[in-house]
């Protein structure tokens, strides 16, 4: 049974990597896309922004609609949609068609990811659930931070189409593995849509959503401009910037492993301590970000914290609505995407008004706001029952 669970979690991790790789890998090949379709880079960027917007909008609804269907069938359906979308992207020469080929799969993105978190958690004991989810998060981190340089390298050394083939290949591997090794997983206890949506009536859910929005804004509001920060503030060369970004990515994956242990041992203390640790890193970054050697150490620690943060965000929302895990995971994906969008927008404002080095302020301010929401939930509710404290 343990081996079957490990295999299932591994397949889910590959599937999540394939989907996140499809979403984020495009960032590394935007110049190639612009050239191929004869559009501006900003217009090519619609392939990223439209995808993210669709994910944010469909996060709560799509997992809800598919919550009563056999898990294996849903996994195969979503992976199949992504494969078809990627194949169309390989062969089309029309930008509008390419945009549609990404927008349609984006609707199914939250379905697979929320299902992957729920299935991983349900495959082990309640105490071990955070560790299982943290393993799936490795696929999320890898898709975000590894897919970009890999796709960029493939497009630069071969062609844009081969980079698209790479996206397709990973999804095909996940599809075949699911078809061969994942057993039928019918939903034993179907929850009505009303019962799942009713978690939005609880204030604890909203405290958690607000905290996650600000926590994600704290990380990605700064990370979105990290390459620019390294170039203009730290004065790193292009090769050194690339290496530093790889450090962040590798550390992010380490953070996922660390998070599983932290959340298993003492989840509430880990969540409460996280904003303070992240805030401390941003203070150090502001003071020493202009120095290359300290920057390498800061990047390593920050990357680990970012990996931990993703797991904390997912845990914080799902633990507020354990009776509706699929819907809660959809809420997590929406909150995370909203946080990224808001953080990046406000971070850009700080840069335009004050300078690149002040982008750290969006991280620090978001951490403060997240802390307020976390402690409001922590002291208002009994952590064992998520009921109002007496």
Give all domains of the chain, ordered by start, each with its CATH number: 2-190 (1.20.1250.20), 194-388 (1.20.1250.20)
Q: What is the pLDDT of residue 1?
A: 62
- As a whole number of angstroms, the distance between CA 154 and CA 167 comes to 11
Q: What is the pLDDT of residue 382?
A: 59
- As a whole number of angstroms, the distance between CA 276 and CA 266 comes to 16
pLDDT along the chain (390 residues), means of 10: 83 94 83 89 82 86 88 96 96 95 94 91 85 88 79 86 94 96 85 81 92 93 84 86 83 90 90 95 93 92 93 92 86 87 86 89 94 88 51
Q: What is the pLDDT of residue 386?
A: 52
Q: Hey, which bits of the chain come out as E strands? A: 381-382, 387-388
| Residue 185 contacts residue 70 (beta carbons within 8 Å) | yes
Which pTM was predicted? Answer: 0.80
SS3 324: coil
- As a whole number of angstroms, the distance between CA 27 and CA 150 comes to 11
SS3 67: coil
| Residue 311 contacts residue 198 (beta carbons within 8 Å) | no
Per-residue CA distances from 32 to 6, 21, 84, 98, 366 (Å)? 38, 17, 21, 14, 34
Question: Helices 203-223 and 360-380 meet at what angle, rounded to 10?
Answer: 160
DSSP 235: -
Q: What is the pLDDT of residue 389?
A: 42
* Phi, psi values for residue 260, rounded to 5°: -60, -40
381-382 vs 387-388, strand pairing mode: antiparallel
Contacts of 88 (CB under 8 A, 6+ apart): 97, 98, 101
- Helices assigned H by DSSP within 66-159: 71-91, 95-122, 129-145, 147-157
Q: What is the pLDDT of residue 384?
A: 55
- As a whole number of angstroms, the distance between CA 342 and CA 356 comes to 17
Q: What is the pLDDT of residue 329?
A: 86
- Structure confidence by residue, pLDDT tens digits, 331-357: 998 898 888 888 888 888 888 889 889
Contacts of 93 (CB under 8 A, 6+ apart): 36, 37
Angle formed at CA 264 by CA 260 and CA 269, multiple of 5 degrees = 100
Query: Which one, of 42, 56, 22, 47, lies nearest residue 341 by Cα?
Result: 56
């Amino acid at each position: 049974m343990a081996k079957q669970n490990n295999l299932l979690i591994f397949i889910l991790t590959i599937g999540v990597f394939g989907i996140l790789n499809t979403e984020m890998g495009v960032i590394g090949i935007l110049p190639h896309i612009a050239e191929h379709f004869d559009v501006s880079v900003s217009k090519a960027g619609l392939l990223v922004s439209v995808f993210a917007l669709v994910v944010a909008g469909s996060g709560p609804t799509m997992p809800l609609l598919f919550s009563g269907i056999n898990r294996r069938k849903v996994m195969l359906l979503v992976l199949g949609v992504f494969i078809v979308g990627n194949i169309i992207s390989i062969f089309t020469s029309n930008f509008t068609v390419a945009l549609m080929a990404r927008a349609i799969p984006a609707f199914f993105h939250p379905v697979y990811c929320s299902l992957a978190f729920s299935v991983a958690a349900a495959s082990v004991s309640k105490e071990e659930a955070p560790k299982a989810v943290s393993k799936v998060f490795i696929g999320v981190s890898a898709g975000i931070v590894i897919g970009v340089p890999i796709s960029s390298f493939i497009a630069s050394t071969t062609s844009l189409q081969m980079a698209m083939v790479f996206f397709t290949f990973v999804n095909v591997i996940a599809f075949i593995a699911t078809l061969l090794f994942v057993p039928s997983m019918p939903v034993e206890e179907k929850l009505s849509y009303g019962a799942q949506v009713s978690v939005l009536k609880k204030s604890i859910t909203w405290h958690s959503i607000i905290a996650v929005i600000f926590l994600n804004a704290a990380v990605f509001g700064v990370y979105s401009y990290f390459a620019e920060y390294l170039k203009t503030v730290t004065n790193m060369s292009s090769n050194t910037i690339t290496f530093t970004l790889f450090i962040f990515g590798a550390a992010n994956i380490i953070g996922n492993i660390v998070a599983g242990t932290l959340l298993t041992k003492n989840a509430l203390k880990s969540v409460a301590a996280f904003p303070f640790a992240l805030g401390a890193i941003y203070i150090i970054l502001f003071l020493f970000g202009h120095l290359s050697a300290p920057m390498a150490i800061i990047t390593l620690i920050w990357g680990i914290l970012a990996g931990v943060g993703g797991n904390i965000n997912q845990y914080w929302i799902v633990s507020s609505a354990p009776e509706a895990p699929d819907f809660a995971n959809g809420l997590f994906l929406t909150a995370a995407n909203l946080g990224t969008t808001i953080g990046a927008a406000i971070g850009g404002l700080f840069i335009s008004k004050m300078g690149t080095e002040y982008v750290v302020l969006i991280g620090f301010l978001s951490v403060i706001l997240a802390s307020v929401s976390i402690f409001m939930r922590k002291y208002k509710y009994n952590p064992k029952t998520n009921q109002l404290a007496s």
